[in-house]
Amino acid sequence: MKFQAIKGVRDILPPESALWNHVEQAAREVFRTYGYGEIRTPEFELARLFEHSVGDETDIVTKELYSWIDSPKVNRALRRVRAKAIAAAYRAIHNDPAVREELIKEMEAGAFDTLNEVNRISLRPEATASVVRAYIEHGMQARPGNVKLYYLGPMFRRERPQKGRYRQFYQIGAELLGPSDHPALDAEVIEMLLAFFARVNLQGANLYINSIGDRNCRPAYVERLRGELQKVRDKLGADSQRRIETNPLRVLDSKLPEEQPIIDTLPHIADHLCDACREHYTELKRQLALRKIEYEENWRLVRGLDYYMRTTFEITAPGLGSQNAVCGGGRYDGLVELLGGPAATKGIGFAIGTDRLMLSLQDAGTAEACGLQVFLAWFGAATYPAAVDLARKLREHHLSVELPAQEMKFGKSLSLADRLGARFAVIVGEDELAAGQFTVKRLADGDQRKLAEADLLDYLTKSRTA
Ligand code: ATP
Ligand code: MG
């Protein structure tokens, strides 16, 4: 039997994985300099955590959550009932009394008694909810200053797979939790994000910002928006029509070409912010300018998750088609309280779509070669011990080395070195050994020299960083 990875997930193989490591390492280094520490949370949590924080009306929760019932007893019962139901369907008997009977029997035997919230589990579609859950669970508000956390890892959403959109995808994210909501914190989070993008040499990124108000001013704006949308209901697509009731802000997110002229006429939230939110937004822009950060305001940037308030931001990058957002973030001051933590804790954070970042880096041709440095060719059985010894020493000097297990012909071995993308071939032959020297050949231009071991180590180590 032959197997394939299922729809919407994929394998990340070398050499591409080397670029992933490089990018993740850069994130760790940059975030550390801003005082962030890594948090590792589980990849699955109670379904209710996501429903409650991300929002019951969001696509993530209504359509995209991977959930299951984590109870062997319930699942056994369901399997038995289902087996009967399928059998009944085959017999084209609707409302088969046998199925009903079976279900009642299972219920009476108490199979479903234990089915409750703790049995419903979801793969995480994002990590902010988990980070906040962990913050509360471990009483991290007692820690001094702001709590600054970053994470790296897979997220799961059952979306329609396409370029830059997968069912298992990866995020690099950071969260700042603490008592203050000062806009300087928002600006510093954005600064850190851009410092990371600069470190990995992402070209052509654009920052968009917006403020979506808070619980004082947003409800009135949302009502206003709903009123305006009702007037143009007929001209909207099915999704937007539904959202008039469930989540009018999300209409602003629509990418349907025919809806664009209508959306252009809708009221802007900037004109409906309360004084406190307007001041917060003005100060954010001043703080960004102070850091020489360029941005564009986008009044339609509302983000898909319910917990955002005030500052929202997004970063786009080239080479991604319509999936061009590489990072989304914003302020979520009410989330800690919503999940049962101290009301005084405010929060802001972002999540970078690592898969899309990689696509953009590869598209820009900035992917660095992270490959093989030395191909160690040995000739004559007597030279093998010396080759093994040299390989170990080179690796101790952090060089990546390929040592053939069996002797190869000279031409074959150099051709393999070439195809493996090695930068150098080091040749260990009987003559070389007798002279206490090794021949090293730079494969890019054929430059060749004979060096004693200490000089060889020196030469290769220097060229590694060059
Ligand atoms: P989009 O509008 O592109 O669907 P989103 O608003 O759902 O993005 P967030 O929940 O804010 O995205 O997640 C942050 C980032 O994670 C996005 O900017 C994107 O780069 C990435 N991302 C989100 N969903 C996926 C996915 N299914 N596959 C790959 N990357 C994703
Ligand atoms: Mg999405």
CB 59 near ligand 1, within 6 Å? no
Ligand 1 atom closest to Cα of residue 329: 11
Using CA positions, which residue lies closest to atom 12 of ligand 1? Answer: 328
What confidence category does residue 83 fall into, taking pLDDT thresholds of 50, 70 and 90? confident
Averaged pLDDT for residues 258-287: 96
- Closest-CA residue to 198 (of 366, 448, 389): 366
The first and second tokens of residue 290, run together, are 């102070």
Averaged pLDDT for residues 421-447: 94
Sheet strands (E) in 119-226: 120-123, 147-156, 168-178, 206-211
Mutate to test the pocket of ligand 1, among 58, 327, 350 (most ligand atoms within 8 A of CB): 327
Mutate to test the pocket of ligand 1, among 316, 323, 357 (most ligand atoms within 8 A of CB): 323
pLDDT score for 328: 96
CB 304 near ligand 1, within 6 Å? yes
CB 330 near ligand 1, within 6 Å? no
Return the SS3 of 296: strand
- Tens digit of each residue's pLDDT (9 = 90 or more) over 110-168: 877 777 777 889 999 999 999 999 999 999 999 999 999 999 999 999 999 999 999 99
CB 250 near ligand 1, within 6 Å? no
Question: 196-200, 253-257, 417-421 — which is least confidently predicted?
Answer: 253-257
Mutate to test the pocket of ligand 1, among 163, 169, 311, 312 (most ligand atoms within 8 A of CB): 169
Mutate to test the pocket of ligand 1, among 10, 61, 165, 306 (most ligand atoms within 8 A of CB): 165
Whether 338 has a pLDDT exceeding 70, the answer reads yes
Averaged pLDDT for residues 343-372: 84
Whether 232 has a pLDDT exceeding 80, the answer reads yes
* Residue owning tokens 């009932």: 81
CB 166 near ligand 1, within 6 Å? yes
CB 323 near ligand 1, within 6 Å? yes
> Is the distance from CB of 267 to CB of 168 less than 8 angstroms?
no
Q: Kindly give the distance from the C-alpha atom of residue 304 to the centroid of ligand 2, in angstroms, as a whole number.
A: 7
Whether 218 has a pLDDT exceeding 70, the answer reads yes
- Closest-CA residue to 430 (of 393, 376, 384, 375): 384
What confidence category does residue 344 fall into, taking pLDDT thresholds of 50, 70 and 90? very high
Whether 409 has a pLDDT exceeding 90, the answer reads yes
What confidence category does residue 451 fall into, taking pLDDT thresholds of 50, 70 and 90? very high
What confidence category does residue 226 fall into, taking pLDDT thresholds of 50, 70 and 90? very high
CB 355 near ligand 1, within 6 Å? yes
Whether 438 has a pLDDT exceeding 80, the answer reads yes
Averaged pLDDT for residues 265-279: 95
Q: Which ligand is nearest to the CA of 314?
A: 1
pLDDT score for 465: 62
Using CA positions, which residue lies closest to atom 25 of ligand 1? Answer: 165
Q: Tell me what percent of the residues of the chain surpass a pLDDT of 90.
A: 79
pLDDT score for 90: 63
Cis peptide before 15 (omega within 30 of 0): yes
Amino acid identity at 452? A
Using CA positions, which residue lies closest to atom 8 of ligand 1? Answer: 325
User: Which residues, other chains included, contact 90 with Cβ-Cβ below 8 Å and sequence gap of 6+?
Assistant: none
- Tens digit of each residue's pLDDT (9 = 90 or more) over 12-62: 998 889 899 999 999 999 999 999 999 999 999 999 999 999 988 788 998
Q: Which ligand is nearest to the CA of 127?
A: 1
Q: Which ligand is nearest to the CA of 193?
A: 1
Averaged pLDDT for residues 388-403: 96
- Give every strand in the sheet of 448-451, ordered side by side: 401-402, 374-378, 424-428, 438-442, 448-451
Q: Are strands 401-402 and 374-378 parallel, antiparallel or unpaired?
A: parallel
pLDDT score for 323: 87
The first and second tokens of residue 165, run together, are 């959109």
> Is the distance from CB of 399 to CB of 373 less than 8 angstroms?
yes
The first and second tokens of residue 379, run together, are 């000739």
Task: Give the H or E element holding residue 349.
Answer: strand 346-353
Question: 8-17, 97-106, 406-415 — which is least confidently predicted?
Answer: 97-106
Q: Kindly give the distance from the C-alpha atom of residue 118 to the centroid of ligand 1, in angstroms, as a whole number.
A: 28
Whether 281 has a pLDDT exceeding 80, the answer reads yes
Roughly what angle, to the nearest 10 degrees, separates helices 238-246 and 218-231? 140
What confidence category does residue 94 fall into, taking pLDDT thresholds of 50, 70 and 90? low
Q: Kindly give the distance from the C-alpha atom of residue 125 to the centroid of ligand 2, in angstroms, as a whole number.
A: 10
Averaged pLDDT for residues 451-459: 96
Whether 367 has a pLDDT exceeding 60, the answer reads no
Mean pLDDT of the chain: 92
pLDDT score for 89: 65
End-to-end CA, the chain: 48
CB 327 near ligand 1, within 6 Å? yes
Averaged pLDDT for residues 380-389: 95
pLDDT score for 342: 96
> Is the distance from CB of 410 to CB of 360 less than 8 angstroms?
no
CB 324 near ligand 1, within 6 Å? no
Ligand 1 atom closest to Cα of residue 157: 27
Q: Which ligand is nearest to the CA of 316?
A: 1
